[in-house]
Structure 1
Amino acid sequence: MAIRETVSSDGTTIVYRAFGNPDARPLVLIHGWAQSSRCWGDDVVDALAQRYRVIAVDLRGHGYSDVPAAGYDDSANWAADVDAVLSAEQITAGAALLGWSYGGLVICDYLAAHGTGAVDAVVFVGAITSIGRGEAGGAVGAAMKAAIPAAMAEDPAVAVRALGSFGAALTGPLGDGAGRGAWSQALFGASLSTPPRVRSALFRRAASHDDLLRALAVPALVLHGTADTVVDVSAGEHAAALIPHATASYWEGCGHGPFVEDPERFVGEIDAFLSSVGERVPVGENTAGAITS
């Protein structure tokens, strides 16, 4: 594993971790709101790195990346951050972008600005693809609605209670002996370590990417838990219905963190999808296939 950094277009330093064979297909992991590149868990990253050149990014304001004073409401900045990482790694073709939660929105920001020249597949995991009032691709669930605005509070007592309520939503049941208790604490710690002003700023923007999804010329996997209370499953269904060549996998009873609830299945589905990606498909009629289990 190598820890690297690059500088985005506005001078923000973006830190990322690189794993696996540098000659393998690049798989760029983009985490969600108030998380970091460590959210995926070591076992998931290690398993993916057996097949792919895994690049796990700390978004601006998160993890070890810089925390600029402003600019979180500008889609161009998020697009530039992803582009800076790809450029630093000299990736010009064949990359797969995988975004969890808010990471799906960041992928769309990048594609809207830079197109698919460097990308041949995208994966949306419990993701939003748009944000703003009335955007179906940004539909949030009951846990997120209940946590806002307390999760953005400066008062630690208020923020801890709100962010703590996310635990089961991110990890699923904790009493099955699967080590989710430690994982839950790590995710909770990442949320608390993300500055309150950043947690708040990420929601103070509007971006509609429906037209982008309708014209997306690369294959996409939409993976979403049917019991997701952070990003409602309807957001995933909306994306899958728009993307011309999409595969939709809806995990029955799963919450917001499929890679936490069933890491082996998660890695298997990502691998199966990426292994199936060949020539680019033309934009046309939606050919989404849905898997529910």
Structure 2
Amino acid sequence: MAVRDVVSADGTNIVYRVTGPAEARPLVLLHGWAANLRCWGRAADDLAARFRVLAVDLRGHGYSDAPAAGYDDPKNWAADVAAVLAAEGIESDAILLGWSYGGIVLSDYLTAYGTGAIAGVVFTGATANIGRGVPGGSTGPAMQAAIPGVFEESAGRAVRAFGAFGNANTGPGADKGADAQRLFGTSLATAPSVRKALFYRTVDNTETLRALDIPVLVLHGTDDQVVPIENARFIYEAVPDARASFWEGAKHGLFLEDRARFVTEIGMFADSL
């Protein structure tokens, strides 16, 4: 395992962790809103058995820099991903995997840089678009219940607002309690200003989805209360070469809810490329 960093186009330092065989196919993990590169838990270790896994701390999250502004510019998010790929010498054959908000980030990258370095894309519990009235960019009831409280500077109010998520990421199983608490911790560790800034932008990557010339896998729980399954269906219907796996009754964090199934389905998708 190696933890590395790279400077993005606007000077923001982006931190990422590399695991797995150096000669294996690159798999870039892009986490969601108010998370960090550790959110993947043991799923990242399992994936590293066959992939060269690059788990990224998005700008404003984890150990990456948190600039005062620029979160509303899709080109910044795109450049962050491009910088990591360039730093690792990746020019082809990579898979981009985005969870939740990470789906917007990878779509920003594809809009700005195209698919030359990418062999396939995975959206898991993800959306490609964001903004009021933007197709495929709606928020689920758990997220709606948490906003605007999760933007609060007051620690007490923010904690109560995050409580609205409950088990939305992991499902109700008692064995997932530690994972659920870890995600709450990463959310609180993300600056309130960043949490807010990520929602105060409008992006429509629909035309990019429609023009994609690479395969896309859409993984989504039918009971996702954070990102509605309608967003997943929107991606599936827009992309020319898309396949979907809708998990009956599953929540938002599929890699935590059923790690073995998640890793297996990613591996099967890679084998099909």
Shift of 1:221: 0.2
Structure 1 contact 28–54 (Cα < 8 Å) conserved: yes
Question: SS of 2:167's equivalent?
Answer: helix
Q: What is the aligned residue count?
A: 273
Structure 2 contact 60–194 (Cα < 8 Å) conserved: yes
What is the aligned partner in structure 1 of residue 34 from structure 2? 34
Question: SS of 1:237's equivalent?
Answer: helix
User: What amino acid does structure 1 have at the position aligned with 2:166?
Assistant: G
Which residue of 212, 217, 224 corresponds with 2:208?
212
Shift of 1:45: 1.1
Structure 1 contact 223–251 (Cα < 8 Å) conserved: yes
Once residues 136 and 182 of structure 1 are traced to their aligned partners in structure 2, the CA distance between those partners, rounded to angstroms, is: 35
User: What amino acid does structure 2 have at the position aligned with 1:33?
Assistant: W
1:168-205 CA distances to partner (integer Å, 9 max, x unpaired)?
A: 00110132xx3x11111110000000000000000111
* 1:62-211 equivalence runs, <5 A: 62-175=61-174, 178=175, 180-211=176-207
Once residues 72 and 46 of structure 1 are traced to their aligned partners in structure 2, the CA distance between those partners, rounded to angstroms, is: 30
Shift of 1:164: 2.3
Shift of 1:116: 0.4
Shift of 1:166: 1.4
What is the aligned partner in structure 1 of residue 218 from structure 2? 222
What is the aligned partner in structure 1 of residue 25 from structure 2? 25
User: What amino acid does structure 2 have at the position aligned with 1:13?
Assistant: N
Once residues 38 and 137 of structure 1 are traced to their aligned partners in structure 2, the CA distance between those partners, rounded to angstroms, is: 27
1:264-283 CA distances to partner (integer Å, 9 max, x unpaired)?
A: 00000010011111xxxxxx
Asked if 1:6 is matched to 2:2, the reply is: no
Once residues 270 and 209 of structure 1 are traced to their aligned partners in structure 2, the CA distance between those partners, rounded to angstroms, is: 23
Shift of 1:69: 0.6
User: What amino acid does structure 1 have at the position aligned with 2:36?
Assistant: S
Shift of 1:226: 0.4
Once residues 136 and 258 of structure 1 are traced to their aligned partners in structure 2, the CA distance between those partners, rounded to angstroms, is: 24
Once residues 14 and 88 of structure 1 are traced to their aligned partners in structure 2, the CA distance between those partners, rounded to angstroms, is: 11
Once residues 188 and 23 of structure 1 are traced to their aligned partners in structure 2, the CA distance between those partners, rounded to angstroms, is: 35
Shift of 1:23: 0.7
1:135-191 CA distances to partner (integer Å, 9 max, x unpaired)?
A: 22212110001111111111111110111221300110132xx3x111111100000
Divergent runs of 4+, >4 A: none
TM-score (norm 1): 0.92
Once residues 274 and 165 of structure 1 are traced to their aligned partners in structure 2, the CA distance between those partners, rounded to angstroms, is: 36
Structure 2 contact 131–138 (Cα < 8 Å) conserved: no
Question: SS of 2:24's equivalent?
Answer: coil
User: What amino acid does structure 2 have at the position aligned with 1:204?
Assistant: Y
Which residue of 223, 231, 236 corresponds with 1:235?
231
1:192-222 CA distances to partner (integer Å, 9 max, x unpaired)?
A: 0000000000011111011110111000000
User: What amino acid does structure 1 have at the position aligned with 2:140?
Assistant: G
Asked if 1:51 is matched to 2:50, the reply is: yes
Asked if 1:274 is matched to 2:273, the reply is: no
Structure 1 contact 167–188 (Cα < 8 Å) conserved: no
